[in-house]
A = this chain, B = another copy of it.
Amino acid sequence: MKKIAVVGYGVIGKRVANAINLQDDMKLSGVCDIISDWRIQNAVRKNYNIYAATQDAVDKMKSEGISVEGDLIELLKMSDLVIDCTPKKIAAQNVAIYKEKNIKFILQGGEKHETTGHSFSAESNYESAININATRVVSCNTTSILRTLTALKRANFLESARGTLLRRATDPWESHLGGIMNTMVPEKDIPSHQGPDAKSVDPELDVVTAAVKIPETLSHMHYWNVKLKKKVSKDEVLDAFKTSTRIKMIRYDQGLVSNNTIKEMFLDMGRPWGDMYEVALWEDMLKVQGDELFYAYVVDNQAIVIPETIDAIRALTGLEKNAQDSILKTNRTLGVLQN
């Protein structure tokens, strides 16, 4: 039973903590943050061991009546591995502490590949992460790219892939951070960072992305144009995608016509926060034309990396040496939909 610390109890951290609690081979040693408002109250309700990042934060939390176990250093002492889910750039600062305390650590996709020297996506490179000291679970968009392109690559169909990424403006609970309304805001650089980021996991991929921010908060949407190595049928492409256990084929003609209908379906299913761990790929929109493939899918930016993070824990701690065994165990515990 490995003891796992979650540092940063925000959008990703609270989901990772929740997912760890669903596993039988690891336990949550505690969560650590600096906030003392309504957000940490969710950890209180769940009876997590709560730690504060700094002594100041310990004092602030105590003044708010929160029972605090100690500071970050004390949490690390109680843990075999730490998942850092703090906002972009802060994790990079925490890394010095993790290294000094000689504890294994997992960062999220907002950090640079160089910070850990290893980037992780379960279906692509689980084995290379076994027993190493640190990895970075790639971002939501990059995770979806790797799942889908790796499935095409396994079938030996993939020549090159060009994607347009329509990014949600901000997270649902946020009011302003990155929010936009009644406009679209492209990222200046082509390629956008997600294509090169996918190569940090699989350098062989020929992938170029362009990204644009959209005034909605639910999830991302990707449009892809893939050059195939050979002419294959639509059914063969669907079969290739189905070799991934984390791509859920959906049907437009079943009424799943938009980000919000997909979100509602996952809320209907009782998923925590309505989370969608799967890439939701439209089967009936997908088109093969000659040696080209066109398709679109939706990515839940808050949830897609959660199963990946659980797998990364198993790889780094050596809990499970077989990628597929870890993936299927994670899928089972989280209720990932199978095709």
Contact = CB atoms under 8 A, between A and B. Distances in A.
Interface of A: 162, 164, 166, 180-186, 188-191, 208, 210, 212, 214-218, 221, 223, 225, 252-253, 257-260, 282, 284-287, 289, 292, 294-296
Contact of A215 (B216, B225, B282): B216
B289 A259 contact: no
A149 to B, nearest CB: 16
A183 B287 contact: no
Given A184-B216, A208-B225, 18 more contacts: A162-B294, A164-B223, A182-B218, A183-B216, A183-B259, A184-B221, A185-B258, A186-B257, A188-B257, A188-B284, A190-B286, A190-B295, A208-B289, A208-B292, A210-B294, A212-B296, A215-B216, A225-B225
**10 pairs of A and B residues whose beta carbons are closest in the complex:** A183-B260, A164-B164, A190-B287, A185-B258, A164-B223, A182-B216, A162-B225, A183-B259, A188-B252, A190-B294
A276 to B, nearest CB: 14
Given A190-B285, A190-B294, A191-B287, A212 B166 contact: yes
Contact of A186 (B181, B182, B185, B296): B296
Nearest to A225: B162
B212 A223 contact: yes
Contacts of A260: 182-183
Contacts of A189: 285
A296 to B, nearest CB: 6
A178 to B, nearest CB: 13
Contacts of A185: 257-258
Contacts of A295: 190
Of A184, A208, A292, most B-chain CB atoms within 10 Å: A184
Contacts of A184: 166, 214, 216, 221, 258-259
B294 A208 contact: yes
A169 to B, nearest CB: 9
A189 B294 CA distance: 10
Contacts of A183: 216, 218, 258-260
A288 to B, nearest CB: 10
Contact of A210 (B191, B208, B215, B223): B223
Nearest to A160: B292
A260 B190 CA distance: 21
Contacts of A282: 186, 188
Contacts of A208: 225, 289, 292, 294
B225 A221 contact: no
A189 B295 CA distance: 10
A289 B208 CA distance: 10
A171 to B, nearest CB: 12
Nearest to A287: B190
Contacts of A215: 182, 214-216
A89 to B, nearest CB: 23
A181 B296 CA distance: 20
Contacts of A286: 190
Contacts of A223: 164, 210, 212
